[in-house]
Every structure is written in structure tokens, then in C-alpha cells.
A and B are shown apart, each in its own frame.
Chain A
């Protein structure tokens, strides 16, 4: 290898800050997943480290995927975008067919042995690639037709995900589309219309969710379809109680009573932030959000430094995907956004999301390290 002598070699420009913040967050996630499951597992007479082990495996798989993605030049990956897109749509079609597995009223998984694969997670990354490819191709003359094409491309997987139904993931798609079109150079009037549409769609969901109980129930129904009104507001209440109970310093790792005593439902998945809030307190919460902030800053920086529009838009797409998820998920546990079933990237228990998020970071690293090549 002659790489060491080549100043433009991708391996000289790996964004270690981004990589380390990712691994750091994911490791905190593994610990918190353990903290929020060990007591319940123990009570049930099961292996307390069950979820810990699996999440660690997911992280390893994710890091492997991350590495693999960064090996291949992102411009080559761009060529595969149509194929990937087609594959993702097919997977989403199959998952709502009898082949898919349903859990809590949402049909979003393929059962693979003891693991479950959620194609909508990977579809997010594929959509980012596809959108970036389309918008980058339309460089300089981004007209109404271009915007409509982009919207159409996003609409198909989104519609399939809504069928599952998984409103949260669909909302991630909206965020990604808006961010990519914004940076791609959509005309202000297009953006205005789009923003109006998107914001009114999201605001409508949020407002209905916040203001009307029966509508919020519809929103929260896919989290737990058996839930009644009391139950969903109970979740929200318990989640806020848990976070507030942490105070500034937190109760200490593994010491959270709300956490250990199963007051917060779905805690190791969607409500993982409550465990951080209760056990690690404001110090831990701010640190975690700080790490996420560093991660977002590095992704944003990669977008700024990207040598081409495709790379830039990929970074923007990943940024939008992660930011929306972080904001929606953390906001939900603190009661400022409606309860939807979106995982907190790198933190929530779950393999598909972990791998998809790692692939997203892998793509950003890829763009960043090849900005001179």
C-alpha cells in the first residue's frame, strides 16, 4: 500500500471525533439497556444480562456495517442507489404481506431466527442515498419537476411504512426530504410550499396529539394498541417523573427506582432516555445530548466539506434523519413532542435501528474521508 505517502488518501482523513462520539453514545446505550432491563429479567428469573449481550452484539454488527460501508467509495455506492431503492421498496412490500411479523399491531418485522429485522430502518438510509442521487443529478436546474420527482421517490416507501402502520418512521422521511431539498437548492417557493405541507402535516399530528386525547391515542396507538387513554398519558407521566426524579446528579447508575421498578414502559427501547435522566441526572442527560451535538456538528461539517453535491446531500440526509429522531424521541420522553415509536439512535435496544444508524455514520465518514480523493 502506498497510502501513507498519499496526503489525499482516505485513511488519513477518517473523522475520529465522529467515530468516537458514535461509539461513545452506543456504549452508553448498551449500559443503559442493561440498567433498564436487568431488574425485570431478574424478577422473571431470566438472565439479567440478556439484553446487554444482544445490544452489544448489535453494536458490533453495526460497527462492522459502518466499516464495510466506509470501505467502498460513496460515489460507487451512488451507482447502486436505484437497485438499493428497488430492494428496499420490495422489502417494505413483503413486510406488510403475510411474510412479515406483527408486534403490538404494527407489522414491521421479518422474523429471522431469534432476531427480528425491521426493513423500514434500512429504508431510511436507502432513501437518503436515492434522494441525494436524484437531487445531486439535478444540480443547477432544480425545478418543479425535480422537486416532484424527489417527493415521488420518497412517497412510495413512506406510504408503505404508513401501511404498517408506523407513523414515526414516516415522519423521519418527511424530515429527510425537506432537509435534502433545502440544501439541494430547491427554489424558495418550492421550499415554502414544501415547508408549509411538511410543517402542517407534522404540526397537525403534534397538535392533534397534544390537544385531543382521542387523537393522541391514535398517535400513540401503534406504540401499544391495547392502551387506553389513561395508559398512554400514564406512559408520558411516568416518563417525566423518572427524568425529574434524577435531578441534577441522578440517582446513580442502576439505582433508579422508576427505572428498576418498571414504572416506565418500553424503557429499554423507545424510553431509554428516561433511564439516563433518572440514573445519571442532568449531568448525564446534558453529556449525552452533548455527545449527540458533537456527532451532529461533525456530520454537518462533513456536509460543508464534502467535495461534491451527492456527498453533501448524503450527509444532510443522515443529519436530518438523526436529528429528527433524537429530537422526537428525547422530546417525547420529556413531554414536548407526541409519543411515537421512534428509537433513539445508538441508544435504544434494537438491531435494525443500530445497524441502519451505523450505516448512516459510515456513509458520512465515507464522504468525509474522501473529500480530497
Chain B
């Protein structure tokens, strides 16, 4: 073993050591310089938790700025999960203090809607003294904190409930497509009504706080974030005063109907529900939209209780959650004669002066068709036929349309009805609208094809055309469609999409976006068609033989002229649907109103008095009349 050999061997060892250190330095360079950017992202994801706290929603206001949906600050007790899990006796104390069962508190603490890094509300709407007690005895309640949270509140309770809608916790189906928009599980979202349609405006920007979190999920410190921004206000075209009158009048009419005997069945009217809609025919604004029975949207704010939900969906309660104004489908009865009349004049089937001798009965193929209540109206032209509601006149038109189908087409009347907005979506800014349908040969054929068992006869018979001409048969439309079709007629033929929203306002009340009138289509409505019909509708309320004359007895027609049309629809297996549509002032209409009362009898008896009361209230509001509207009164009528 020489000195040289030993030196050489030490040299080898030195080289090995050097190369190992080089390897470490190279790797360190790689990690901290070359690969650092990719790793850095991962490091941040690991350690920063982002917690979102929802902002208060924007308010919903009526057209005059009255608050219909607001936020209320409530006192809540929140619990830090980590602490209460270690100190379960704390929850026992809360349970005793508030009288809430312990297992209920456990369920709330375990609620996975809340971020792990956020305290969970264990009690909302806590009385102030209880909250103060907790604060004064904080050492007995570790991990429990009292704070203020905001929640949706509808100060007018049931008023305009169907229009305003409800809010609730977002569900998986709603969350899926909205994740990109920043929604999180547990968020509040509009579920129906304006709350749903204008969700994007009403929802604010959540408070975002970034928290540094260790690998066990414990919050170390706050890294800042951004404060919550409350959502924008939505101003409606609804006038809450008219809305209130509409709801009250509708309710009165229904209650009255339930006390009245149906001569056809000998029983009281069932009158389970109804609707009243008021719009402005000039721009499609909805001024009132009532649906009865109704509900209180406040019941949904903190999650509707199972008992309440069952109650609201019990068939015996006649489905108060349904907005009958846009979801209820009703045979329009004689109110449909608007369409038949327009079609007959437009197609030249009749001239305004042409008359038919109404003897109360019209026979087709040996089958008798009669007027309601067996009335005989004698010689009637189209104007007179509308005023007295002669079915026979329209049976005559119905048969002639069918006989002349080679010339007018198979669905001449129906096409006019559709062009006025019946049997199609109105495009109102409310969710879950029904489209309804207009009975016609193509429809019957389609029904048969789709379901031959339920609809065994694909053919269309003359008798069908007679029924169709007076708004019977398979035609079913919503109260809003009915209102809109008359609005389209009186404004000169412009079909507008009705809108409940009026404008979106920022927090200072400045208009961010105006909801503009949307023209769906323009139809040709020359004076030669309009005038005879307007005269007929005018006669309904003002002519002593008009079907609505009794209902408007004593109404200040001179100052506030009202024109309208009654309707009584027969529904198989049910009592008659009572309908009335009117517009005012008759010479330059600013209001169109439709009232529909289910199973309440004649339109003249039940619906027209309800409409009258609403119009009376409007007259008072406009300063035209000073007499406050009297209670709804049931009147005798023929249609």
C-alpha cells in the first residue's frame, strides 16, 4: 500500500462526494427555479381556503317604489364546529336555553351546506334577551357566537305572492349550470316568480374571504378578500294598491260564490280558486296579477317545513302555489267571441250590419245548440250579439266558417285567436307559464295520433266548430292570455309581451336597465273591424240588455267608461267557470282586466262584479270617483 495509492483512493472518494453534492444542487435548482411555478400553484391551492358568504339580495319594489321584498336582519347563534364537537355540553346548554331538542342542534351542526371554515347557524331568529345571555355567559358557551344575518322577508305576507315568488336553497339541478357563475351549494336562489326571473339582478356578489388553512383544515389567519355587494333592486310594473284591490275583490267574489246556489246542480258553488289580471294595453305592463288561493312566501325563506309543504300541495287546498293567472287553463266561453267576431269581419263572412234571428236554438245535423239560460235575443248583428252574448249568432258563424272552410281555411277563427295571443305563451317575465291550446282540426288529429286510446276520433265535426266559436270545446287559455288578447285588440292590433318587471335599479335607485315593451306581433285591426266590436263591448256594461249591465249598475260609467265581455264556460264534470274581461276608459283604454272564477257560475254574476270592484278602486285612485268601492255583490245575469 503506497502513499500514492492511498491518495488516489482518497481522490476517488472525494470525487464521489463532490458528484453527490452536485446532484443535490442540480435537483434543488430544478425544483426551486425550473419547476417552481407549477409547484407554487399547488402550494397555494393547498393552503388557501376561500370562504363565500352570500350578499343580501336586491329588493323588489312596486311601480311606485313600495317595498315588496326586503331583507331583514335577524339574530342568529352560530357554532364553530371544531369547538362544539370537543365540548358537546355547550349544545346541551343551547338546547336548554332555546328549547330546541338536542338532536335538532346536532343535525344543524352537521349541516354540510356550510363551509368547514365557516361557523354554522344553530339557531336563527333568536330572541334578543337569549342572545345577550349567551354573550354575558360567553365562558359557558365556547365556540358559540351571536351575530346578525340577513334573510329574505316579504313585508306584505301573501300580497302578490305569486308574482314575487320564493327563494330557497339551490338544488343540484339548479347548481350544475350555475357553478361557472359563482354559485355554491347552500346558496339561496330564486325558486319562482320575479325572484327566479330576475335572479341574476337580485343576487349580489358574495363576500369572499381567503383564509390560510393548514393541512388539518384549521384556519390560521385571514388573507383578505372582498366585501359582499348587495344585489340590485327590481322595480315592478305592479301597482301594489291595485294588486291589493284585485286580491281582495277576487277573494270576496269567491267567498260569495261559495254561499250561492248553482241552479244547475242545486249545490253551492265550489269556487275553489280564481285569478284577476290588470294590464296596461299600451305597453304590456302588468299592474296587478292575483291568484287565489295564495300562500305566504315568508314560509319558504329558511326552508319550507315538511308540514307546510304537504299542506301547500294537498289537492284539498286547490294548489295555492300555482299562479292561476299564467298557469290556470280555462275554457274562455263567450269572451272568445272577440276572436270569432274579428275573424268573421276580417274574412268578410259577415258585415257589421248583417243580422241573424236568434230564437235561442241552433240545430246542426239534428243536434240542438242553445243559448245559455235559454235566452232568445231576436235579430242580432255582431255588435248586438256581443252585448247580449248571443251564442246562436256565433253558432251560425261557426257553421258557416266550417261550411266555407275551402275558402277561409279549416281554422280561420283559431288563427285569429292565436294572432291575438291566445293559446300561446305570452312571454311574460314569469316562470312556468302554460301555453294553453286553441281547439282545431289539426289539434284533434294530433291528439288522436299521440294517444289514440284517449282520443279515439281524429275527425272534426261541424258541431265542434260551433262550440269552438263560443269558446267551448277543447280550447283552454290562461287569464293572462285572455287579458292580453283584449289588450291587443283595444290597442289597435299590437300583441305585446306582458311584463311584470319594470326596471332594474342600482343601490342609489338609478335605473340600470329598463324593461322595454316587447312587440310579439302586429295584426291588422282596421276601424271597420274594431268599431262594431267596441260598440258591442261598450253595450255589455251600458246597455240595459247588456250581460254586464247589472254588475255595473251604479258604476260611474260616464266619468270612467268601461267596456267588457262576460263569459261562462261549461266544463265537463264541474260547475261553470265565470269569466269577465273589460277595459277602461273605453274610448282610450289604459287598463285591461280579466277575472276568472273557477266553478262560480255565470260570468255576469261572479266575475263581472269582481272586475267592477277593482275598476272602482282604480277610478278612486285616479281621482275620477270618490266613493270607496263597495264589497263585491253577486248579480243576476244571463251569461
- Taking Cβ atoms with an 8 Å cutoff, the residues of A that contact B are 39, 43, 139-140, 142, 179, 182-183, 185, 238, 240-248, 257-258, 260-263, 277, 281-282, 285-286, 289, 292-293, 296, 300, 303-304, 309, 312, 316, 319-320, 323, 326-327, 330-331, 334-336
Provide the bound-state CA to CA distance between A183 and B14, in Å. 11
Residues of B within 8 A of A240 (CB): 31, 39
Known contacts A43-B218, A282-B28, then 18 further A-B pairs from the complex at CB < 8 Å, ordered by chain A residue: A39-B220, A182-B9, A185-B5, A238-B46, A241-B43, A242-B43, A243-B31, A244-B35, A247-B36, A247-B40, A258-B43, A261-B212, A262-B214, A281-B32, A300-B10, A312-B6, A326-B20, A331-B27
Provide the bound-state CA to CA distance between A277 and B213, in Å. 20
Closest Cβ–Cβ distance, residue A177 to chain B (whole Å): 13
- Please state if B31 and A277 are interface contacts (CB–CB under 8 Å): yes
A-B contact count (CB 8 A): 129
Residues of B within 8 A of A323 (CB): 16-17, 20
Closest Cβ–Cβ distance, residue A252 to chain B (whole Å): 14
Provide the bound-state CA to CA distance between A282 and B42, in Å. 19
Residues of A within 8 A of B6 (CB): 183, 185, 309, 312
Closest Cβ–Cβ distance, residue B144 to chain A (whole Å): 20
Contact with A along B6-30 (1 / 0, CB 8 A): 1101101110110011011101110
B158 interface residue per 8 A CB criterion: no
18 residue pairs A–B, Cβ–Cβ below 8 Å: A43-B218, A142-B1, A179-B13, A183-B10, A185-B1, A185-B5, A244-B35, A247-B32, A261-B214, A277-B32, A281-B32, A296-B17, A304-B10, A312-B10, A319-B17, A326-B24, A331-B24, A336-B23
Given contacts A139-B1, A182-B12, contact A244 B23 (CB under 8 A): no
Residues of A within 8 A of B24 (CB): 289, 326-327, 330-331, 334
Residues of A within 8 A of B36 (CB): 244-248
Q: Chain A residue with minimal CB distance to B38?
A: A244
Closest Cβ–Cβ distance, residue B82 to chain A (whole Å): 11
Interface of B is mostly: helix
Interface of A is mostly: helix
Among A245, A262, A289, A323, the most chain B Cβ lie within 10 Å of the Cβ of A245
Residues of B within 8 A of A238 (CB): 46, 215
- Per a CB cutoff under 8 Å, which of A185, A247, A304 touches B33? A247
Closest Cβ–Cβ distance, residue B405 to chain A (whole Å): 76
Given contacts A262-B215, A286-B28, contact A257 B47 (CB under 8 A): yes
- Per a CB cutoff under 8 Å, which of A183, A262, A300, A319 touches B216? A262
Q: Chain B residue with minimal CB distance to A315?
A: B10
Provide the bound-state CA to CA distance between A347 and B14, in Å. 23
- Please state if B10 and A331 are interface contacts (CB–CB under 8 Å): no
Given contacts A257-B212, A289-B24, contact A243 B32 (CB under 8 A): yes
- Please state if B39 and A245 are interface contacts (CB–CB under 8 Å): yes
Residues of A within 8 A of B46 (CB): 238, 241, 258, 261, 263
Among B38, B43, B220, the most chain A Cβ lie within 10 Å of the Cβ of B43
- Please state if B23 and A263 are interface contacts (CB–CB under 8 Å): no
Provide the bound-state CA to CA distance between A323 and B10, in Å. 14
Closest Cβ–Cβ distance, residue B503 to chain A (whole Å): 47
Provide the bound-state CA to CA distance between A139 and B35, in Å. 50
Provide the bound-state CA to CA distance between A79 and B216, in Å. 54
Contact with A along B38-67 (1 / 0, CB 8 A): 111011001100000000000000000000
Residues of B within 8 A of A142 (CB): 1
- Please state if A183 and B28 are interface contacts (CB–CB under 8 Å): no
- Per a CB cutoff under 8 Å, which of B17, B28, B35, B213 touches A300? B17
- Please state if A245 and B28 are interface contacts (CB–CB under 8 Å): no
Provide the bound-state CA to CA distance between A149 and B33, in Å. 48
Residues of B within 8 A of A281 (CB): 32
Provide the bound-state CA to CA distance between A296 and B18, in Å. 9
- Please state if B14 and A300 are interface contacts (CB–CB under 8 Å): yes
Q: Chain A residue with minimal CB distance to B223?
A: A257
Provide the bound-state CA to CA distance between A245 and B48, in Å. 14
Residues of B within 8 A of A183 (CB): 6, 9-10, 13
Provide the bound-state CA to CA distance between A316 and B9, in Å. 11
- Please state if A185 and B218 are interface contacts (CB–CB under 8 Å): no
- Please state if B32 and A246 are interface contacts (CB–CB under 8 Å): yes
Closest Cβ–Cβ distance, residue B131 to chain A (whole Å): 29
Given contacts A142-B1, A244-B40, A245-B39, contact A316 B215 (CB under 8 A): no
Given contacts A246-B32, A257-B43, A331-B27, contact A263 B9 (CB under 8 A): no
Residues of A within 8 A of B14 (CB): 300
- Per a CB cutoff under 8 Å, which of B16, B32, B39, B214 touches A248? B32
- Please state if B10 and A285 are interface contacts (CB–CB under 8 Å): no
Provide the bound-state CA to CA distance between A312 and B14, in Å. 13
Q: Chain B residue with minimal CB distance to A182?
A: B9
